[in-house]
């Protein structure tokens, strides 16, 4: 019972955070006459809060509080969090781009469906369950493509600043060159996104197929 109450509280809190992010994103577009250039600045704090807080979902999976595979939860959280916190947020020239706004909109629209679905659990209405396993079909590629575009266009700045780099010699006798890491990540990122995308399709078949079977019974 305590675990259920905690998970419900967590999912409600995340629902509120991502709802605020979506509302602020839409308001920014409306108030700026359809322009997407201020979406990041207007909604960024809530998006960063919601995304960084989602590390708890990796912990939930690790502790067995939820059924999600640990690796899937980790890939989802780490990919997004790295993109926004390590790459996009430190580079102000990326904030006003269309890609940043589309990423925010795709993420927030996905999460205002996902978290309420989790919070309601077995009491989820059919229409929301359908949205949970259908809205990702257009939203996931939009958000993922925006992440790739933003990381790719960060490369000149990353090359100039060389952040997060560990040079030799040091006590650990190891080196890490972040610009190379980011380039390598860009090569495998589409494959990782595809893996997660196909995983949700499998879940969609299970969940919506099960609902259809219940109706026909």
SS3 (DSSP) at 184: helix
d(CA 8, CA 116): 9
How many residues would you count in the chain? 217
d(CA 1, CA 150): 43
- Region for residue 8 given its phi and psi (left: phi exceeds 0; alpha: psi -120 to 50; beta: otherwise): alpha
Give the burial class of 17: count Cβ atoms within 10 A of its Cβ; 0-12 exposed, 13-18 middle, 19 or more buried: buried
Task: Mark whether 177 is an active-site residue.
Answer: no
Question: Which residue among the candidates 10, 40, 118, 140 is catalytic per the annotation?
Answer: 140
d(CA 166, CA 1): 46
Task: Mark whether 140 is an active-site residue.
Answer: yes
d(CA 78, CA 97): 22
Question: Which residue among the candidates 147, 164, 177, 199 is catalytic per the annotation?
Answer: 147
Active site residues: 140, 147
């Amino acid at each position: 019972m305590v675990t259920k109450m905690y998970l419900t509280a967590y999912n409600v809190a995340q629902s509120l955070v991502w709802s605020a992010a979506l509302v602020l994103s839409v308001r920014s577009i409306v108030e700026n006459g359809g322009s997407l250039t201020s979406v990041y600045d207007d909604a960024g704090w809530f998006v960063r809060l919601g995304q960084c807080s989602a590390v708890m979902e990796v912990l939930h999976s690790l502790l067995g509080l939820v059924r999600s595979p640990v690796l899937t939860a980790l890939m989802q959280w780490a990919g997004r969090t790295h993109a926004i916190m390590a790459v996009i947020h430190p580079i102000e020239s990326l904030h006003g781009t269309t890609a940043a706004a589309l990423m925010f909109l795709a993420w927030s629209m996905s999460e205002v469906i996902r978290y309420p679905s989790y919070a309601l659990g077995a009491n989820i209405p059919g229409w929301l369950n359908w949205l949970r396993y259908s809205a990702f079909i257009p939203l996931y590629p939009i958000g993922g493509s925006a992440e790739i575009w933003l990381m790719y266009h960060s490369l000149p700045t990353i090359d100039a600043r060389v952040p997060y780099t560990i040079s030799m010699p040091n006590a650990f006798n190891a080196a890490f060159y972040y610009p190379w890491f980011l380039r390598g990540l860009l090569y495998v990122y589409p494959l990782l996104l595809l893996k997660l995308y196909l995983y949700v399709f499998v879940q969609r078949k299970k969940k919506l197929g099960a609902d259809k079977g219940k109706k026909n019974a």
